[in-house]
Amino acid sequence: MRRLDDDIATAARRVAHLAVQARLSLATAESLTAGLVCAALAGVPGVSVVLRGGVVSYTNQVKSDVLGVDPSILEERGAVCEPVAEQMVEGVRRLLGADVAVATTGVAGPGPSEGVSAGTVLVAVSGPGDRPPAVCRLSLEGDRARVRAEATLAALSLLVSRLEDT
C-alpha cells in the first residue's frame, strides 16, 4: 500500500500543478472514496488557489438533494452506473462553480451491493468549458481499503489526463 500512497501523492501534485498552471478551479464529488480524492489534493501546498472543495455524497439522498442526480435513475439503476457518475460530476461542478470536476461512485466491498460486484468503480471527469463528461468503469481487486485507494488514484489520473489535454 505504501507504493500506492506514493502514487496518489504524485498524481495529486501533478493535478495541482496542471490546474494552477492553467488557472482552472477543481471540485470533487465522492461516494465510495468519501473524500480521499479531495484530501489528496488538499495535501499539496499551494493547491488552495484552485481547489474549490468537495462533496461526499455517500447516500443516494445526498446524490439527489445536493448534486442533482435524478432520483428515478438512482431507483431504477442504482448508484453505480454511468448516468449517476455523469450527473454527480456535473452537479458538483455547477454547485461549486469549478472549471473541472471529478466524481467517484462504486462498491468498495467486502461484498456486492445492489447486485453490483465489489470493486466495481466509476470515475467521471467534467470540464473545462463545454467538454462532455468522460466516464471510466473499473473492476478493481483487493480489500475495501485497496479498492478505495485504487479508485482515488484512478480519479486523480483521469484529472491529469483531462488537464493535460486542455
Residue 23 is predicted with a pLDDT of 98
Q: What is the pLDDT along the chain (166 residues), one digit of tens a residue?
A: 799 999 999 999 999 999 999 999 999 999 999 999 999 999 999 999 999 999 999 999 999 999 999 999 999 999 999 999 999 999 999 999 999 999 999 999 999 998 899 999 999 999 999 999 999 999 999 999 999 999 999 999 999 999 999 8
Residue 166 is predicted with a pLDDT of 84
Separation in Å, CA 2 to CA 5, 108, 146:
5, 19, 11
Residue 1 is predicted with a pLDDT of 78
DSSP 8-class letter at 32: T
Query: Strands of 134-139's sheet, edge to edge?
Result: 51-56, 26-30, 100-106, 120-126, 134-139
CA angle, corner 85, sides to 81 and 31, nearest 5?
Answer: 100
User: Amino acid identity, residue 133?
Assistant: P
Within 10 Å of residue 34's Cβ, how many Cβ atoms? 17
The CATH class given to the 2-164 domain equals: alpha beta
Q: Is-contact 120 75, C-beta < 8 A?
A: no
Is the pTM above the cut of 0.75?
yes
